[in-house]
Amino acid sequence: MNNDNKFVVEGKLSDNERLKGQSRLLRGTITEDLSDDVTGGFTADNFQLIRFHGMYQQDDRDIRAERIKQKLEPLHNVMLRARLPGGIIKPDQWLVIDKFAADYTMYGSIRLTTRQTFQFHGVLKPNIKLMHQTLNKAGIDSIATAGDVNRNVLCTSNPVESELHQEAYEWATKISEHLLPKTKAYAEIWLDGEKIESTQEDEPILGNNYLPRKFKTTVVVPPNNDVDVHANDLNFVAIAENGRLIGFNVLVGGGLAMTHGDKSTFPRKADDFGFIPLDKTLDVAAGVLTTQRDWGNRVNRKNAKTKYTLERVGVENFKAEVEKRAGVKFGESRPYEFTSRGDRFGWVEGVDGKHHLTVFIENGRILDYPNKTLKSGCAEIAKIHKGDFRMTANQNLIIAGVPSEQKETIESLAVKHGLIEASVSNQRKDSMACVSLPTCPLAMAEAERYLPSAVTEVEALLAKHGMEQESIIYRITGCPNGCGRAMLAEVGLVGKGPGKYNFHIGGDREGTRIPKMYKENITDTEIMGHLDELIGRWSKERNDKEAFGDFVIRAGIVAPVIDSAKDFYE
Ligand code: SRM
Ligand code: SF4
């Protein structure tokens, strides 16, 4: 720990600090729990600890009440989240996860997430070890995709499109490796690795109590802000000269979560610390992470993320500490601009003459539906594909690195299985939701299951007002944790209770403005009523090509959120 304690929050440490400290570097008694077949679940401490290994204990909330009535324990199972820096996975790995999802998960799906990876939902206890061993054989792990650590590192999609993207992707991987836990607990518990626990073992960067809270990192290549930098604790914005990467602007302290009724919590944009040359990247990554490790709030987890540390200690103090630790002086920020956030659907050709096909996956849920066999389609493509797959931070999929001679075959498979559908509107492509019910224990309202019909309603309103060629960045999140990143949308719905949402408007299309609450705790019918009126006004009063989020601010319908710590709740 750093000796400079003036920014350490005093008080009784949160219980998570005790369990991390006592866990013997993330071992706890997970192994004992695994062999306890009386329950399908884990003890309270291990319930938290398995997160550091990339798993969450869940149960299906649709059947919870019925099981309780029958005096059965909830049908405990785990959700697994893989670690895939930049979202890249090879076709042979895809076939492994495709088969595991079919054979051993309750829902049979591969779920692409908003952080460029996939989740299995519904793995029962007897199959957990098999799952890790299967993934390991395929070269995939799930270390540190959850828990108080640096999570899966994002990178702007389509990295093979140019040399710059390739370099950015390599940095995302290096940062991920550098900040990974060093404990051998994962190998010991899941892969039957040799027990090497000893007093020598240590976590030099994360610290033996790990971080105060989760920590998220991206590498982004402007002008596409597809990773949504302002949702992240630490961002490296690629700065290039003559097409080659020369360094990064570093943005620190973004995050989107809040708690209903607690104004000490709020979404916050990241601050620009300035420019660093390439050779300082890993030092700065560790410098920001360890400053947050030492100064972050370990007393109150609600105020523990980097965004609150910056608000409490001041941006300049935090930045000076990072400079000291990383041995660097931040230079003046280099100019860059974000002009888009969405994925580019369809084919693009890379500098090497290879082709990349981005396909739309509604909600990121890869499954065979009656009218489209998305999962079979991806597997068929994986059987012949020579390049790789790339998961995007918008829950879509890129079939990347296709040689010219295979383009036609892959396209016809994609069409056959509904991975390419001409009828999907721009509005649908610009809409996103978090998982929410039935698997998420924190869900307050539907999100993934509500999104498709909500988008159909919005499409009808756009058509009614002659705006069917336009779209609104529309995001739904089942609770204020904000996993669907509604707090960076032009229209953001935040679950409040069954069928009820807080309705926010006024974000921008580039993801650089937080939307303001317009109406609280309203139903779908009320939301569509308000949208009807707002889209009607937008169609008549907009300037030139003015976007919906910009219009509602200019028209004075809501005030812009400028400094969310002060004006988000005003
Ligand atoms: Fe999230 C917790 C799903 C991206 C903020 N998130 C959860 C859990 C694990 C619920 C839990 O703790 O038991 C959800 C599991 C649902 C399920 O059944 O799968 C969950 N989060 C997701 C995913 C799968 C949503 C999706 O539809 O894609 C995303 C997985 C990302 C990944 O691969 O790592 C996901 N979560 C996000 C994002 C968006 C992002 O990072 O770009 C956010 C907002 C950004 C941020 O962190 O500020 C987000 N999730 C949270 C929070 C609030 C954190 C906080 O600052 O308070 C929680 C709850 C918590 O940590 O206490 C949470
Ligand atoms: Fe669950 Fe809430 Fe995250 Fe949605 S936003 S996945 S409901 S924690």
| pLDDT tens column, 166-182 | 999 999 999 999 999 99
- The helix or strand, by DSSP H or E, that contains position 281, with its residue range, turns out to be helix 281-295
Q: What is the pLDDT of residues 453-484, one digit of tens each?
A: 999 999 999 999 999 999 999 999 999 999 99
In a domain, 66, yes or no: yes
Q: How large a percentage of the chain has pLDDT more than 90?
A: 95
Residue 95 has pLDDT above 90, yes or no: yes
Residues 443 and 315 in one domain: no
303 and 184 within one domain: yes
In the prediction, which pLDDT does 2 show?
47
Q: Are residues 69 and 187 in the same domain?
A: yes
Q: What is the distance in A from the centroid of ligand 1 to the CA of 376?
A: 28
- The answer to whether position 409 is within a domain reads no
Same structural domain for residues 446 and 321? no
Kindly state whether residue 361 falls inside one of the protein's structural domains.
no
Mean pLDDT of 191-203: 72
Residue 214 alpha carbon, nearest atom of ligand 1: 61
Q: Is residue 343 part of a domain?
A: no
18: pLDDT strictly greater than 50: yes
- As a whole number of angstroms, the distance between CA 108 and CA 105 comes to 5
337: closest CA among 221, 241, 165, 222? 222
The reported pLDDT for the residue numbered 243 is 86
What is the rounded average pLDDT of the residues 332-360?
A: 94
Residue 56 pLDDT class (50, 70, 90 cuts) = very high
| pLDDT of 439 strictly over 90 | yes
Distance separating alpha carbons of residues 477 and 161, to the nearest angstrom: 32
- In whole angstroms, what is the distance from residue 212 CA to residue 9 CA? 11
CA distance 260 to 502: 10
459, amino acid identity: E
Q: Which of 302, 326, 350 is the last residue of a domain?
A: 326
Of 326, 360, 385, the residue at which a domain comes to its end is 326
Of 281, 307, 326, at which residue does a domain stop? 326
Predicted local confidence at residue 196, as pLDDT:
57
Looking at the structure, tell me whether residues 168 and 298 fall in a common domain: yes
From the CA of 81, the nearest ligand is 1
Residue 342 Cβ inside 6 Å of ligand 1? The answer reads: no
Q: Residue 3: pLDDT above 80?
A: no
**119, 80 in Cβ contact below 8 A?**
yes
Condensed to tens digits (0 to 9), the pLDDT of residues 360-419 reads: 999 999 999 999 999 999 999 999 999 999 999 999 999 999 999 999 999 999 999 999
CATH number of the domain encompassing residue 322: 3.30.413.10
94, 100, 106, 111: CA torsion to nearest 10: -20
pLDDT tens digits, residue range 277-325?
999 999 999 999 999 999 999 999 999 999 999 999 999 999 999 999 9
Measured between alpha carbons, how far is 74 from 55 in angstroms, rounded to an integer? 17
**Contact 492/475 with Cβ under 8 angstroms?**
yes
Report which ligand 2 atom has the smallest distance to the Cα of 447. 4
* The pLDDT of residue 163: 84
C-alpha 437 – ligand 2 centre gap (Å): 8
- CA pair distance 246, 188, nearest whole angstrom: 40
Task: State the DSSP H helix or E strand holding residue 292, giving kind and residue range, or none if neither.
Answer: helix 281-295
The pTM of this model reads: 0.97
- Co-location of 435 and 321 in the same domain: no
Specify whether the CB–CB gap between 162 and 155 falls below 8 A: no
- 297 and 439 share one domain: no
Position 198 scores a pLDDT of 56
Closest ligand 1 atom to residue 152 Cα is 34
For residue 459, the 8-state DSSP code is: H
Q: Mean of the per-residue pLDDT values for the chain?
A: 96
Decide whether any atom of ligand 2 lies within 6 Å of the 442 Cβ: yes
Dihedrals phi, psi of 109, to nearest 5 degrees: -110, 160
User: For residue 245, is it within any domain?
Assistant: yes
For residues 236 and 89, membership in a common domain is answered with: yes
Residue 383 domain-assigned? no
- The answer to whether residue 377 sits within a structural domain is no
314 shares its domain with 448:
no
Q: Which residue has the tokens 């990121």?
A: 364
In a domain, 358, yes or no: no
Q: Which residues contact 61 (CB under 8 A, 6 or more apart)?
A: 437, 438, 439, 441, 443
Answer yes or no: do 295 and 442 share one domain: no
**Whole-Å CA distances, 16 to 8, 87, 124, 144, 246:** 17, 29, 25, 16, 40
Measured from the CB, is residue 16 less than 6 Å from ligand 1? no
Is the pLDDT score of 259 beyond 80? Answer: yes
The proportion of the chain whose per-residue pLDDT surpasses 70, expressed as a percent, equals 98
Residue carrying structure tokens 């990347």 = 400
The pLDDT value recorded for residue 159 is: 64
HSE of 143 in the Cβ direction (CA atoms, 13 Å)? 23
* Residue 90 domain boundaries: 15-326
What does the pLDDT read at residue 1? 46
Answer yes or no: are the C-beta atoms of 302 and 265 closer than 8 Å.
yes
Residue of the nearest CA to atom 2 in ligand 2? 479
Total domain count for the chain? 2
Residue 447 Cα to ligand 2 midpoint, Å, equals 8
Average pLDDT rounded to a whole number, residues 334-363: 94
